[in-house]
């Protein structure tokens, strides 16, 4: 790639919240930015469960990276899959080429973690990409279709039993939304099946749902889930699954639940690029595959390599690792952009500090929990706050209006318009 | 399936325009309707090219059949793939069961026709389903991404050359929309590639584009296409294709065009279910796989089997076969519903007559051709008519509002929001 001599070259790997926010804030004509992602779009992941549950279309919450960055003339977007790093020669290798950097920002995010049971992936899809969401949507809707055709009561029961593994925000949101579909949205669409009799079982390994939230909010969440009809199992693990059954172990008890549907929301691990980067830099890596970073988010010994978001193990003032939240990645992206702009001017900059803006999750229709530290809420007001915050953050104005319009409509009518079953098993491998 | 003794059982195969309109109009409590489709949704096909070109999301133009028919308590929807017919015992067999009928309506539509070159299917996808549209969208967008990474001028040119085979309404609409994307929408998104230099070649075998339209409108269409930058080749056939090239033969001349992208809009043939039905009923079948029907749309010798839409060879007063249009299928569906309602009451009914409401197609942005017989128009006014008619026909009110909103937005901003590249090559085969 040609470049002017004076340009400081920043290469960003990953167009999620961290990488995109770094790119957006690197508005400095002395800096040339290249952002590489294997997808062509930035995805607003906090709403991905709504795609999986047929309430939103993929395009409502995803925008092409090129389009978002089209006015940044110092910024290039490459659609490609990064394969390797050469920190000595300051190069990144991707599937269709290589690129040199003066500073590298690695923000490739995380992937599903099956804790050694990777063969569960096919049976129990997780929720990270548009493709994942479309797969889950098709599976869930197909389960109701299968139940409608079935005559054997046991088979119907198994088709209508959904096990969601993991009681963090994603699991809670999926369980609530799934219950809403079964009890509300689909009611009246079927002639044989009573969709409201579907079983939705939410399994959490620790002692309470939303374990990172204050205990009071966990209790409120569990109450609410049970009230809308979700079965909650805390202190329980999924220890096995077959085509038709799921094994749930609670303490010494083991239960075999006839269930054809499993969704995985139990854990994430850093992108495998983290392990590769650790190999070539000697950086320390934790069990979740995260790289231990300095307080300026660089790798020890490599002041030109930053790691942020779900890939970074970054501790707060109390020594606790920062959680894998959009807000963390976004603040780290902004920090790096500012740090690099100072660096090219030869100025100093301070260490990164995370400003905890709180966290929130929905629990079915018109209810949420919100934890701002100074404000802890559960219920309808919390849901309004959730709605407001999420609308404000949906990246593009255009999408925001569409999402708002669509939400308002489905709230009033109870309808979910994107209930499409698609089948891409004959997808041709693209050149 | 249990049934009350007195119920007259109508089984409809296919939930397209014909089958759905039959079901919707069979509102008679003495009639029990079952509609079987392998998809869970009805698709508004006339706008499918807009999904393929990233202007609309799949859910904007598709609705679950169950949802559309949820208030018809005499109607059941089965998601299943019909495999066979037993006209003597009046039964239909599908992948997960069988069903008995008193009257059968076969409306399974059509599929791509590669005229003996079925191996072209992978290379040159056609446009019939949501899945097709998503494949074409990903391919087209991926072509621009590939060109952006490429440095070899020849390879760039080939990546940016799109051959559309077939100059009927679908081909013309695709060519116009693709030109709009290349010249307009994507402009400014890329740093290396000049997307407006893309070549779009529309190849038509007969002497003019839109051969079923009046000649004057064909001329206007070709003028308009050329003016916006589409290369038109009439009287030409695609006779071969490889990974990187397409062979176009015009008369005695053969040209090898370096082009990595081909879209197939050249022809359709009736669903293979037509051939199976012909086998078991001895019905006559034409080269496009259509079944010759009586003037009441039944198969000769089988007054209880109706065939409609793209699967039927039905002639108008002048002996011309009716075209494969939504309007034809829709009118035939309505006709059958009325005929069956009369039949269960022992009343007579008249033969089917097609009321030609005209046809229309868009040519890029804000231009269309309209042929109402008494009114033949090309240009902006025609486009407004096209817009109005299509909005009126989008099945559901909800979708209509969303589509209108989205169109208005993209018309004002020139943006197309659904420009997502997805990759379903790892799609798990569903149980």
B70, B141, B149 ranked by CB distance to A189: nearest: B70
**Across-strand partners of A11?**
A34, A104
pLDDT of residue A431: 42
Distance CA A76, CA A34 (A): 5
pLDDT at B3 over 90: no
**B185 against A300, higher pLDDT:** A300
CB of A97 within 8 Å of a chain B CB? The answer is yes
Question: Are the beta carbons of B54 and B418 closer than 8 angstroms?
Answer: yes
- pLDDT confidence tier of residue B169, bands split at 50, 70 and 90: very high
DSSP state of A182: I
- pLDDT confidence tier of residue B1, bands split at 50, 70 and 90: very low
Q: Is B173 assigned a catalytic role?
A: yes
Task: Give the range among A3-12, B107-116, B273-282 with minimum mean pLDDT.
Answer: A3-12
What is the SS3 assignment for A67? helix
List, for chain A, all residue ranges whose pLDDT scores fall below the cut of 70: 1-5, 395-400, 402, 406, 409-416, 428-431
Question: Are the beta carbons of A13 and A92 closer than 8 angstroms?
Answer: yes
Sign of the CA dihedral running B268, B272, B277, B282: positive
A146, A399, A428 ranked by CB distance to B417: nearest: A399
Q: Are A64 and B398 an interchain contact pair (Cβ–Cβ within 8 Å)?
A: no
Q: Are A145 and B40 an interchain contact pair (Cβ–Cβ within 8 Å)?
A: yes
Cβ of B352: how many Cβ atoms within 10 Å? 24
Q: What is the mean pLDDT of chain B?
A: 92
A78, A79, A417 ranked by CB distance to B399: nearest: A417
Distance CA A415, CA A403 (A): 14
**Across-strand partners of B370?**
B360, B377
Q: Are B122 and A428 an interchain contact pair (Cβ–Cβ within 8 Å)?
A: yes
Which is catalytic among the residues A145, A173, A204, A398? A173
Q: Are B428 and A190 an interchain contact pair (Cβ–Cβ within 8 Å)?
A: no
pLDDT at B333 over 90: yes
- Best B420, B425, B426 member to test A by mutation, with max A CBs in 10 Å, is B420
Question: Are the beta carbons of A32 and A102 closer than 8 angstroms?
Answer: no
Which ipTM value was assigned to this complex? 0.91
A97, A409, A430 ranked by CB distance to B142: nearest: A430
Distance CA A14, CA A77 (A): 10
Radius of gyration of chain B (CA): 22
Distance CA A327, CA A335 (A): 12
Which is catalytic among the residues B6, B148, B173, B243? B173
Structure tokens at A271: 């992108």
pLDDT of residue A69: 94
pLDDT digits (tens, 9 = 90+) for B194-233: 999 999 999 999 999 999 999 999 999 999 999 999 999 9
Q: What is the pTM of this model?
A: 0.93
- Which CA distances in Å does B224 have to B16, B92, B169, B234? 32, 48, 14, 15
Question: Are the beta carbons of A261 and A140 closer than 8 angstroms?
Answer: yes
Question: Are the beta carbons of A41 and A63 closer than 8 angstroms?
Answer: yes
Closest CA to B108 of B75, B88, B130, B83: B83
Distance CA B307, CA B195 (A): 46
Q: Are B422 and A191 an interchain contact pair (Cβ–Cβ within 8 Å)?
A: no
State how far Cα B343 lies from the chain centre.
32
Q: Are B417 and A63 an interchain contact pair (Cβ–Cβ within 8 Å)?
A: yes
Question: Which residues fall within 8 angstroms of residue A220, CB to CB, at 6 or more apart?
Answer: A369, A378, A379
**A23 against B408, higher pLDDT:** A23
Residue of A nearest to B145 (CA): A79
User: Domains in chain B, please, with CATH?
Assistant: 8-112+269-344 (3.50.50.60), 120-266 (3.50.50.100)
Q: Are A40 and B423 an interchain contact pair (Cβ–Cβ within 8 Å)?
A: no
B63, B67, B405 ranked by CB distance to A405: nearest: B405
Residue in this structure with the two tokens 């069990």, named with its chain if needed: A287
What is the SS3 assignment for A267? coil
CB of B148 within 8 Å of a chain A CB? The answer is yes
For B268, the enclosing helix (H) or strand (E) is: strand B268-270
pLDDT of residue A427: 78
The residue-averaged pLDDT of B182-187 equals 90
pLDDT of residue B397: 60
The residue-averaged pLDDT of B159-183 equals 96
**A124 against B404, higher pLDDT:** A124
pLDDT of residue A99: 97
Burial-class residue A429 by CB neighbours within 10 Å (0-12, 13-18, 19+). exposed
**B418 against B170, higher pLDDT:** B170
Instruction: Please state the φ and ψ torsions of residue A55, each to the nearest 5 degrees.
Output: -90, -30
Question: Are the beta carbons of A196 and A182 closer than 8 angstroms?
Answer: yes
Q: How near does any CA of chain B get to the CA of A244, in Å?
A: 10
What is the SS3 assignment for A42? strand
pLDDT of residue B414: 62
Percent of chain B with pLDDT over 70: 94
**Rounded to 5°, angle at Cα B168 from B163 and B169:** 105
pLDDT of residue B83: 97
pLDDT at B411 over 70: no
What is the SS3 assignment for A308? coil
Q: How near does any CA of chain A get to the CA of B243, in Å?
A: 9
pLDDT digits (tens, 9 = 90+) for A147-192: 999 999 999 999 999 999 999 999 999 999 999 999 988 988 999 9
Question: Are the beta carbons of A393 and B41 closer than 8 angstroms?
Answer: no
pLDDT of residue A429: 53
Listed by number, the residues of chain A in 9-68 with a beta carbon closer than 8 Å to a beta carbon of chain B are 39-41, 57-60, 62-64, 66-67
Distance CA A358, CA A375 (A): 9
């Amino acid at each position: 790639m040609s470049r002017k001599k004076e340009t400081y070259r920043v290469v960003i790997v990953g167009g999620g919240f961290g990488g995109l926010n770094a790119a957006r804030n690197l508005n400095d004509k002395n800096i040339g930015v290249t952002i590489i992602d294997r997808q062509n779009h930035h995805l607003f992941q906090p709403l991905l469960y709504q795609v999986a549950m047929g309430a939103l279309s993929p395009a409502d919450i995803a925008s092409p990276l090129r389009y978002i960055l089209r006015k940044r003339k110092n910024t290039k977007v490459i659609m490609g899959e990064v394969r390797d790093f050469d920190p000595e020669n300051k190069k990144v290798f991707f599937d269709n080429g290589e690129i040199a950097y003066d500073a590298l920002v690695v923000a490739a995010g995380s992937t599903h973690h099956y804790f050694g049971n990777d063969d569960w992936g096919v049976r129990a899809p997780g929720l990270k990409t548009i493709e994942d969401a479309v797969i889950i949507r098709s599976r869930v809707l197909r389960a109701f279709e299968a139940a409608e055709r079935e005559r054997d009561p046991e088979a119907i029961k198994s088709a209508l039993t959904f096990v969601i593994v993991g009681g963090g925000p994603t699991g809670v949101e999926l369980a609530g939304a799934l219950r809403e579909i079964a009890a509300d949205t689909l009611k009246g669409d079927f002639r044989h099946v009573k969709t409201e009799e579907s079983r939705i079982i939410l399994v959490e390994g620790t002692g309470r749902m939303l374990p990172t939230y204050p205990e009071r909010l966990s209790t409120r969440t569990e109450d609410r889930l049970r009230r809308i009809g979700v079965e909650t199992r805390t202190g329980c693990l999924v220890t096995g699954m077959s085509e038709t059954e799921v094994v749930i172990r609670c303490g010494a008890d083991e239960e075999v639940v006839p269930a054809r549907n499993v969704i995985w929301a139990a854990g994430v691990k850093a992108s495998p690029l983290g392990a590769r980067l650790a190999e070539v830099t000697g950086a320390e890596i934790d069990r979740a595959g995260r790289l231990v970073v300095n307080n300026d988010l660089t790798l020890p010994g490599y002041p030109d390599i930053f790691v942020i978001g779900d890939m970074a193990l970054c501790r707060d003032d109390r020594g606790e690792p920062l959680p894998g939240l959009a807000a963390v990645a976004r603040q780290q992206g902004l920090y790096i952009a500012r740090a690099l702009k100072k660096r090219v001017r030869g100025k100093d900059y301070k260490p990164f500090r995370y400003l905890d803006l709180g966290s929130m999750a929905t629990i079915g229709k018109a209810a949420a929990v919100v934890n701002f530290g100074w404000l802890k809420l559960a219920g309808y007001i919390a849901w309004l706050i959730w709605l407001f915050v999420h609308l404000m953050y949906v990246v593009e104005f255009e999408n925001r209006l569409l999402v708002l319009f669509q939400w308002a409509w489905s709230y009033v009518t109870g309808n979910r318009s994107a209930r499409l079953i698609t089948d891409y098993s004959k997808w041709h491998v693209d050149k």
